[in-house]
Structure 1
Amino acid sequence: MKRRAFLLGALALTACGTSEPEGTIRIAGGEPGGFYHDFAALISRLAPSPLTITPIQTGGSADNLKHLREGTAEIGLTLSDSAHLEPGLVALGRVYENYLQLVVLDSSPYRTPADLAGEPVSLGATGSGAALQGERLALGVREEHYPLRNAVDALKAGEIAALLWSGGVPTPELDKATGIRLLPLDGFLPRLRQQHGKVYERVDVRMGVYGSPVDIPTIGTPNLLVCRPDLSAAHAGAVVRMLVGKAAQLVPQQALGTQYLDVRSLIDTGKVPLHPGAAAEYRRLHG
């Protein structure tokens, strides 16, 4: 993904000039070590007074949608393919791209996903977007479902042959796990797009990431920041002003160099409609 320009300072100044609503918003994030967890922490630290945003640790996309359904969170991060399965959901913006990463030990004999048939593989934590995508890949493996840190430990111990993870690149937990490599996943893209639409696209994990000597083609999926439909217009607008005016500060370390919150694509939320308050704020800011 090519780097794009962030919003010009004038918009940030416009956003800062708007009074902020009071209250607390709970954001369903993700598991430690992952992009969602880091993004939720950043947006909570940057919340403008008197607004408070409180992060909730979760298992990922599906778990976040469950929090929204049950009213234990007002906003949450989710992969767009997971969001499409949730009726009545509305969005505050499209934020980043997740990279699907199928990780093996560098010393292993596995060179293609087909080589893993019948082997134990962690297909993401229960409740994660990777778990849904692992199911859709239909790798023919013996499924396990570990949180990322546990999956890395199991991979190193030889308890699993591979792990599937959906997140930023480089994901810190994987970046510090020396002796790993990624298997290409672009071969699954035609079938996934035929069955589930253009929510999936080809992306490349660039040479040098995790020590790879070449680019590794894989599958990218947009991340959406979504919310309960009953979120007030004032709170929806406040979050949009953060996404626009503080874009450069809302880049987790694992997204640096490969993905960027792009203010021009924030409104591109696909089949998930924008919250009316968010749409109104984008119109106010962009004209």
Structure 2
Amino acid sequence: MAEHAASLSRRTALQAGLLALSAAFAGACASDPPMQLRLAAGEVGGFFWEFAGLLSDAAAKTAVTQIVPLTSAGSVDNLEALGSRQAELALTLMDAAYSHPSGELAAVGCVYENYFQVAVRADSTIESVDDLRGRNVSIGAPGSGATEVSQRVLRAAGVSEDGAVEQVQLSMSSAADALTANEVDAVMWAGGLPTPAFAQPRAAIRLLDLGTVVADLRREFGTAYEAVLVPANVYGEHQEVTSVGIPNLLLAHPDVPDRVVAALVGVLLDQSSGLVPSQAIGSQFLDARSLVMTGSIPLHPGAEQEYRRRHG
């Protein structure tokens, strides 16, 4: 994990890094110091945060850029940070990027895949998403992409009308504690496998199978969602289940110089073995073919040029 990190909020505009960005625009040359880029990441302990730290460490080995990860609530916060110039880089779920279109979205690459997961206590009578009617459910932290996915999953399952589910918004760590304390009946989140907040729960948990809702999600929202298998016993003892896979995008503001983004592509390709989060079971996307699969989000010109230079 990178040693330097900062917090991101809607109320506080982080100015560190703007001078570095302006200096780069003034004219870059080989003798320039590395350009500092702020990366809007996510919650400490989450998939985004772990990947951001690995990327920061890998980028530090180059002479082109230094990456400072910023904590945030998740995808929506990160997109807002990118648009408001509080960050030059951002991690986001692909569906969140689709839901918040902007001319300031340019992809460096598609990096890994998040698993949308729904957990209940192992002794719960809840067997499917339909059974969440009348229950207290954590749907993700405010500003997270998981909140939007949670609401879409509830709608696909037919339990989204007012009052059908008591929705509460908690961070992953708070939600894990609330599930253990019997304060919520289920937790919805998007993360890796296993997500650290749930990897060693104080009470046994199991995951709900989401196979019945994936087809509805794809019909309504397209290829931002796909069916993915969660292996048995990722969280204690449980059967293999189908979850919802959502690609993760690494974005750069269009004003980040092409040469810097090209260097980031080089990091993703050349140091891929050092960029595998412990939460990345079965979802190692860091190869040229997968990195360019950014859906309707265009590649940053610097990224496109580097992929073409390397692979035609």
- Name the TM-score, length of structure 1 as normaliser: 0.90
Shift of 1:214: 2.1
Aligned to 1:61: 75
Aligned to 1:87: 102
1:108 and 2:133 matched: no
The amino acid that maps onto 2:306 is E
Could you give the per-residue CA deviations for residues 107-164 of structure 1, whole angstroms, max 9, x where no partner exists? Answer: 1111111111121100011111110101112244111010000001111111110110
Question: CA separation of 1:55/1:111 partners in 2, compared to 1, >3 Å: closer, same or farther?
Answer: same
**Secondary structure of 1:197's match?**
helix
**Secondary structure of 2:235's match?**
helix
Q: Distance in 1 between matches of 2:125 and 2:196?
A: 25
- Contact 1:25/1:73 (CA < 8 Å) preserved in 2? yes
Aligned to 1:282: 307
The amino acid that maps onto 1:226 is L
Q: Distance in 2 between matches of 1:232 and 1:212?
A: 48
Q: Distance in 1 between matches of 2:148 and 2:96?
A: 8
The amino acid that maps onto 2:239 is V
User: Which consecutive residues of structure 1, in runs of 5 or more, have no partner in the other structure?
Assistant: 1-18
The amino acid that maps onto 1:222 is P
Residue correspondence of structure 1 range 175-214 to structure 2 within 5 A: 175-177=199-201, 178-214=203-239
1:119 to 130, 135, 153: 135
1:220 and 2:237 matched: no
User: Which consecutive residues of structure 2, in runs of 5 or more, have no partner in the other structure?
Assistant: 1-29
Aligned to 1:35: 47
User: RMSD of the alignment, in Å?
Assistant: 1.4
Which structure is higher in RCO with an 8 Å CA cutoff and minimum separation 6? 1
Aligned to 1:156: 180
Could you give the per-residue CA deviations for residues 3-45 of structure 1, whole angstroms, max 9, x where no partner exists? Answer: xxxxxxxxxxxxxxxx797210110110011000101111111
**Secondary structure of 2:44's match?**
coil
The amino acid that maps onto 1:40 is A
Aligned to 1:26: 38
Question: CA separation of 1:188/1:163 partners in 2, compared to 1, >3 Å: closer, same or farther?
Answer: same
Shift of 1:50: 4.9
Question: CA separation of 1:20/1:284 partners in 2, compared to 1, >3 Å: closer, same or farther?
Answer: farther
Q: Distance in 1 between matches of 2:238 and 2:52?
A: 32
- Contact 1:189/1:201 (CA < 8 Å) preserved in 2? yes
**Secondary structure of 1:118's match?**
coil
Could you give the per-residue CA deviations for residues 199-255 of structure 1, whole angstroms, max 9, x where no partner exists? Answer: 110001011211244211111010011121111101111111111111111111111
Aligned residue pairs, count: 268
- Contact 1:20/1:50 (CA < 8 Å) preserved in 2? no
The amino acid that maps onto 2:241 is I
Percentage identity across aligned positions? Answer: 42
